[in-house]
Structure 1
Amino acid sequence: MPKKLVIIDTDCGIDDAQAIMMALAAPNVEFLAVTCVFGNAAVEDVCQNVLRVLSVCERQGIPVFRGSAGPLVAASTSFSDHFGGDGLGDVIEDKDPLWKEKLQQEHAVSAMIRLVSEHEKQVSLVALGPLTNLALAVRLDPCFPQKLRDLYIMGGNKEGIGNVTLCAEFNFAMDPESAYIVLEEFLCPTYIASWEYSCRNALSWEFFEELLSQDAAAARFMKTITSKCWAYSKEAMRNKRDIYFGPGFVPYDAYAMAACIDGSMVLESIECPVRVELQGSIARGMMALDRTNQLKKSHSAFVLTKCDVAKFGRLVMESLRQPCRK
């Protein structure tokens, strides 16, 4: 079986690190590149985080590209402290002073366009952060989306329940205009792992403890970066996510990555047009599902709803048994 060619576009926080490790552990994935975007942290921190994850897994040969430092339209944005100020829990002290030299010189958007053009209809693009790099790619090359094999997005919400504003999910809220552009102009098969999808297919906290107890470098790394992070605290989540969905361990970005690796992971989805709301103080950044065709759009997306949680858990567990050499 030929390997699936994958580019991951990421704002590398702790859950992105989990998703990247999942792709690294998958025998059917060939990693073309990691492109970085602002989001969970400043893009400079994101780049360092990606390099750190690749180093832990002994996969430093995968090229890493620096991309957008801010949203498409807004002048500036504040970064989330969900995973700490640096995106990886603020526990890493031995920063690499040579990290800039390990990045590719080409801009992430340019690299994305080039790689997809070189492997037309073969590349699966997995977007784990704000969609700024993707929006810029279609502006620079309007044919970019049709050259993709498919697109997997972690982001958006389908019920008006937000995690950063009252009604919007973080990745879309950080750059609503880019999310709007991508969902309007990317006509390739598009699969959306929304916030609700992740939360409604949670793993148990007992699973999380077992996950981190594995005797492998990746597991030890994950244990370190989650050790002081409130987002991985059962107590903190009782006043946050648990109010809507009940208790559980939710590695958000890993759900989109798992769907890319193994389509049978997704048991149910809704196929319909979607649109991102750009107006309003409450609903800006929210994703709306058009199940009655009121928007008269020409294309639909697959909004994932039900996951094979047992199979997903096995992929997550395997992802921290690294380094593993292919």
Structure 2
Amino acid sequence: MANKLVIIDTDCGIDDAQAVMMALAAPNLEVLAVTCVFGNASVENVCQNVLRVLSVCERQGIPVFQGSAGPLVGLSSPFSDHFGGDGLGDVIEDKDPQWKEKIQQEHAVDAMIRLASKYENQVSLVALGPLTNLALAVRLDPRFPQKLRELFIMGGNMEGKGNATVCAEFNFAMDPESAYIVLEDFVCPTYLATWEYSGRNALTWEFFEELVNQDSPAARFMKTVTSKCWAYSKEAMKKKRDVHFGPGFVSYDSYAMAACVDGSTVLESVECPVRVELQGSMSRGMLVLDRTESLKKSHAVRVMTKCDVEKFGRLLMDSLKQPRRK
């Protein structure tokens, strides 16, 4: 059976890096491109982070495209320090002065449209950051969503509990208009790995220690970038996450990637129309699930609710092993 063709759109922080490594290790995926967007860090830092991940995995041949540096409307919010100022824990000192020469000249949005047109109905798009690039793509090419095979999104929330604002999840809060456009206009099969889905399907900290202590360059890289990051501190995250989910290790973006790699990692989901709130003074960016069909929308999305944590853990563990698939 032919490999699944994938474009990864990312604001590459540490958990994005783990998700990208999962895709690179999957024997059934062929990564056509990685497109970059602002989010966990500036888009310039995101590009450098992606290049570093591909280098660690010896996959420098995959093209990387620079995309949106800010949201569709208004000014960019301050970048989160969740994964450090550079998105990879602020521990990498040997920055590549020639990184710009390794980025493709074509804009990320143009590359998305070109590849989706070239491989019509074959490309799975995995979106791990703010959805700005995707919103621009559908505005430039209204048929872009129909050309995709499927769309996987890490973002949004099911219950109005936010991690970036009172009611909104980070990726959607960074560009609510883009999230709204994508979930209104993308009629291809769409799957959402929300904040709650990730948090409620956490792995143990003992698993995390085993994960990053494997003997491989990828594992050593992940151990380095998580070494000083408070988001990977067992005690810090226990205090922060007990409020909603309880203690545990969560690689947020990897849950969306796992669903793309192996759909059987998703044990349960809710299929219903959704909408992103734009007007509320406290609820702007919040994802609304329409379980009563009050919105009268023509299409629904699958919102993941229960994960096969054992299978998910195996995918993560395998992503940092050697040898890697070429």
- In structure 2, the partner of 1:7 is 7
Deviations 1:271-309 (A, max 9, x none): 000000001221110000001000000000000000110
Q: Does 1:142 align with 2:142?
A: yes
Cα distance, 1:74 vs. partner? 1.3
TM-score normalised according to structure 1 size: 0.99
> What one-letter code is carried by the residue in structure 2 that aligns with 1:32?
L
Contact 1:58–1:323 (CA under 8 A) maintained in structure 2: no
Cα distance, 1:322 vs. partner? 4.0
Q: 1:136 to 1:144 in 2, by over 3 A?
A: same
Distance in 2, matches of 1:142 and 1:241, equals 40
Distance in 1, matches of 2:5 and 2:165, equals 35
Distance in 2, matches of 1:24 and 1:186, equals 26
Contact 1:218–1:323 (CA under 8 A) maintained in structure 2: no
Distance in 1, matches of 2:239 and 2:157, equals 19
Note the 1:243-322 alignment, pairs <5 A. Answer: 243-322=243-322
Contact 2:198–2:255 (CA under 8 A) maintained in structure 1: yes
TM-score normalised according to structure 2 size: 0.99
- In structure 2, the partner of 1:206 is 206
Structure 2: give runs of 5+ residues left out of the alignment: none
- In structure 1, the partner of 2:44 is 44
Distance in 2, matches of 1:243 and 1:74, equals 32
> What one-letter code is carried by the residue in structure 1 that aligns with 2:65?
F
- In structure 1, the partner of 2:171 is 171
- In structure 2, the partner of 1:215 is 215
> What one-letter code is carried by the residue in structure 2 that aligns with 1:243?
V
Note the 1:24-173 alignment, pairs <5 A. Answer: 24-173=24-173
Q: 1:133 to 1:22 in 2, by over 3 A?
A: same
Distance in 1, matches of 2:153 and 2:79, equals 20
Give the match's secondary structure for 1:153: strand
Give the match's secondary structure for 2:35: strand
Distance in 2, matches of 1:311 and 1:64, equals 29
Structure 1: give runs of 5+ residues left out of the alignment: none
Cα distance, 1:323 vs. partner? 5.2
Deviations 1:28-59 (A, max 9, x none): 00010000000000000000000000000000
Contact 2:4–2:122 (CA under 8 A) maintained in structure 1: yes
Identity rate of aligned residues, in percent? 81
Kindly report structure 1 stretches of 4+ aligned residues shifted beyond 6 Å.
none
> What one-letter code is carried by the residue in structure 1 that aligns with 2:282?
I
Cα distance, 1:76 vs. partner? 2.7
